[in-house]
Amino acid sequence: MAGLCLCLLLAACERGTQAPAPDAGRRAPTVTIRDDAPVPTPVWEAPAVQIAPAQAGQALAEAEAALREGRLYAGERDALPLLLALRALRPDDTRISAAFDRARAALLVQGQAALDALEDDPGALRRAHEIAGVAQAVAPDDAEVRAFLDRLQRVDAAQARNRRGEAELRAGRLGERGGGALAQFREALRLHPDDVRARQGIAAVESAMIRRAELSAERGDFDTAERWLAHAAEVRPAMPTVDAARERVEQMRRARIAALHDQGLRALLQEGGIPEARRRLDEILRIARPGDPAAAELRERIDLAEHYGLFRPGQRFTDALQGGGRGPRMVVVPHGGFRMGAVEGDDNAADAERPAHYVRFDRGFAMSATEITVAEFRRFVEATGHRSRAVRRGHSTVYDERSGTMVKRSGMDWRHGYDGRPAADDDPVLHVSVRDAEAFAEWLSAQSGQRYRLPSEAEFEYALRAGTQHVYPWPDGVPPRSAGNLTGEKDVSPRGRRWRNAFRGYGDGWWGPAPAGSFPPNAYGLHDLAGNLSEWVADCWHDSYRRAPADGHAWYNPGCRTRVIRGGSWASAPEQVRASWRLGADADTTNARVGFRVVREL
């Protein structure tokens, strides 16, 4: 036969049971057969040899010489033609019989050698068939000849199976569920256990399955890739080929996940990109292993983007302003829900604080860490020429130390403190109306390109409670140490005055507002929500929470004159520091106890 070695395009031909090299180039597995035709066993007829009786001895010597040289049957002067003629001439000659037996044995040795050389010698099978024809002609009943012919028959049957297997392989019928190329090659190997062609055919089937797995992985179909790898693993279980292929597929999986992850992150940077990022996450979840960190991170980033834009809960930041400098320090408040209004058992609660109702924020927001300061408000006034309500009106309400009461005093505005003296830059700004506060937020929005506004009443209470649900912004009625700038029985005014209605046992050392951020922040990172100053919020006043928004938006009616103030101040009675306390005030109100802070939408 012109050649039997099955060569994969992915590797050199095997020897013995050695596995082909891994599919480094990932090309389609192919087999090459140099001669695909079955080899017939020719009928051998011994050449006619004429030997005279007197030449018998010389002819025997000539046959012995041919036998030693391995010339057994091809020509009339080779061993077997001569010995057959001598046997016919002298059938009882023991020397001739012995020489014939040696020649027959030598012929079978050559035949077995030809079968053993099938892997390396393209003509070995054809030569084995020639030898079989000779052996069948000279000794058809010999047991060793019959054994050789049986072996040759099994080799022929194996080669027929190999040819069918190669045809199935070329047609793409691999046999992963039975039949196909794999069954043919395995039957060939059963018939001829040393059949290298069958072994290489099996390796080609395995390689084809691996290639299908890799093609599936390239398309992102890793479930199908897994199935093909599982089929391939059953072909040659002892070989490392599939393990190497599985690692390549896993590398492809990781690369695809990384690409989808990056595409998802890029989508989040685009306006309205969250749906696209979710599609990328869905693709990752379809192909990723459980607990994949890239999927977890993208899911978290999508959730953050959905609820906080590009920020994270608790993050502190400032926005650059067009006119130079930066805006107020902002803190990202986590999204979530809470029960707004008077808690059960709060005997000081007013009807305006009821009914308690559930409010949920589907998106987080940023709130200024402190009240807006005098310096921040001054920058706004100088940039816009804004004339506050107190400036236009010419007076505001301040604390009078001599009388211990709040009095109206001329010339008081945002530049003054609680007692009418000039305010420091880091003091929270006082003597501002709700419209002054809204004008500041509008200017901040124009300067930063972001949406700034007053907090809604729900946002203020949510941020004030910071995950708690008590009467006060702390677990019981007694403020903890340094809870904030509140009215405490230990506080003393510059002239020695004390509060008649204050928290017993408490003192923070301040009479009047403290500089912004003087006290520790709450759990959300926000300062002075419970004390220091009461603050304007965006809502209009309503006598109760019936029909109040459940999504945390401000409850606002255009043109309303009465607005809402929230949170206790340095001069508030204890019941006014409760988390649900609220007050309605004229929109033009200015005094020494009310300031404001801002919220930025994310």
Mean pLDDT to the nearest integer, 25-43: 56
How many domains does the chain fold into? 3
Q: What is the pLDDT of residue 396?
A: 98
Instruction: Give the single-character DSSP code of 416.
Output: B
> pLDDT grade, residue 37 (50/70/90)?
low
Q: What is the pLDDT of residue 205?
A: 98
Shared domain check, 216 and 260: no
Last residue of a domain, one of 206, 222, 239: 239
Tell me: the pLDDT tens digits for 227-264?
999 999 999 999 999 999 999 999 999 999 999 999 99
- DSSP β-bridge partners for residue 583: 565
Shared domain check, 219 and 111: yes
Shared domain check, 349 and 295: no
Q: In angstroms, how far is CA 427 from the centroid of its own chain?
A: 48
Is residue 398 domain-resident? no
Q: What is the pLDDT of residue 245?
A: 97
Shared domain check, 187 and 102: yes
Tell me: the pLDDT tens digits for 365-388?
999 999 999 999 999 999 999 999
Last residue of a domain, one of 239, 267, 286: 239
Shared domain check, 261 and 207: no
Q: What CATH number is given to the structural domain containing 493?
A: 3.90.1580.10
Residues whose CB is less than 8 angstroms from the CB of residue 92 and which lie 6 or more positions away in sequence, other chains included: none
Q: Which amino acid is at 126?
A: R
Report angle CA 79, 83, 84 to the nearest 5 degrees: 120
- Read off the tokens for 109: 């040795």
Q: What's the rounded Cα separation, in Å, for the pair 381 and 373? A: 12
Q: Which amino acid is at 476?
A: D
Report whether 103 contacts 79 (CB < 8 A): yes
Is residue 338 domain-resident? yes
What does residue 528 show for φ and ψ, rounded to 5 degrees? 65, 25
Residues whose CB is less than 8 angstroms from the CB of residue 415 and which lie 6 or more positions away in sequence, other chains included: 374, 378, 422, 423
Q: What's the rounded Cα separation, in Å, for the pair 317 and 302? A: 20
Tell me: the pLDDT tens digits for 544-593?
999 999 999 999 999 999 999 999 999 999 999 999 999 999 999 999 99
- Read off the tokens for 13: 């031909």
Q: Which amino acid is at 449?
A: G
Within 10 angstroms of residue 470's Cβ, the number of other Cβ atoms is: 14
How far lies 311's CA from each of 61, 174, 527, in Å? 105, 54, 20
Mean pLDDT to the nearest integer, 476-480: 84
Angle formed by the axes of helices 56-68 and 94-116, nearest 10°: 20
Q: Which amino acid is at 66?
A: A
Q: What's the rounded Cα separation, in Å, for the pair 414 and 401? A: 19
Is residue 17 domain-resident? yes
Is residue 407 domain-resident? no
Residue found under tokens 């080779």: 78
Report whether 373 contacts 572 (CB < 8 A): no
Query: Which own/partner contact pairs does 85-88 have at CB distance under 8 Å and 24+ positions apart?
Result: 85/46, 85/49, 85/50, 85/51, 85/59, 86/51, 86/56, 86/59, 86/60
Shared domain check, 517 and 368: yes
Report whether 558 contacts 583 (CB < 8 A): no
- Read off the tokens for 539: 């809502």
Q: In angstroms, how far is CA 378 from the centroid of its own chain?
A: 49
How far lies 562's CA from each of 228, 434, 542, in Å? 73, 10, 9
Classified as helix, coil or strand, 88 is helix
Shared domain check, 181 and 105: yes
Within 10 angstroms of residue 57's Cβ, the number of other Cβ atoms is: 11
Tell me: the pLDDT tens digits for 84-115?
999 999 999 999 999 999 999 999 999 999 99
> pLDDT grade, residue 334 (50/70/90)?
very high
Q: What's the rounded Cα separation, in Å, for the pair 465 and 450? A: 26
pTM, full prediction: 0.64
H-helix or E-strand containing 562? strand 562-566
Q: What's the rounded Cα separation, in Å, for the pair 340 and 458? A: 7
- DSSP β-bridge partners for residue 395: 410
Q: What's the rounded Cα separation, in Å, for the pair 591 and 499? A: 19
Q: What's the rounded Cα separation, in Å, for the pair 3 and 563? A: 99
Within 10 angstroms of residue 561's Cβ, the number of other Cβ atoms is: 11
Shared domain check, 301 and 233: no
- DSSP β-bridge partners for residue 584: 564
Q: What is the pLDDT of residue 471?
A: 96
Q: What's the rounded Cα separation, in Å, for the pair 574 and 71? A: 124
Range of the domain at 218: 1-239
Report whether pLDDT(12) > 50.
no
Is residue 325 domain-resident? no
Classified as helix, coil or strand, 393 is helix
Shared domain check, 234 and 252: no
Shared domain check, 280 and 215: no
Tell me: the pLDDT tens digits for 295-319?
999 999 998 888 888 888 999 999 9
Q: Which amino acid is at 523?
A: A
Is residue 411 domain-resident? no
Report whether pLDDT(537) > 60.
yes
Q: Where are the alpha helices (DSSP H) in 449-573?
A: 457-465
Report whether pLDDT(36) > 80.
no
Report whether 100 contacts 69 (CB < 8 A): no
Shared domain check, 81 and 106: yes
Tell me: the pLDDT tens digits for 126-181?
999 999 999 999 999 999 999 999 999 999 999 999 999 999 999 999 999 999 99
Tell me: the pLDDT tens digits for 407-418?
999 999 999 999
Residues whose CB is less than 8 angstroms from the CB of residue 456 and which lie 6 or more positions away in sequence, other chains included: 537, 538, 539, 552, 553, 554, 555, 599
Is residue 226 domain-resident? yes
Q: What's the rounded Cα separation, in Å, for the pair 488 and 174? A: 87
Within 10 angstroms of residue 323's Cβ, the number of other Cβ atoms is: 13
Q: What's the rounded Cα separation, in Å, for the pair 316 and 521? A: 13
Is residue 317 domain-resident? no
Q: Which amino acid is at 355?
A: P
Shared domain check, 107 and 80: yes
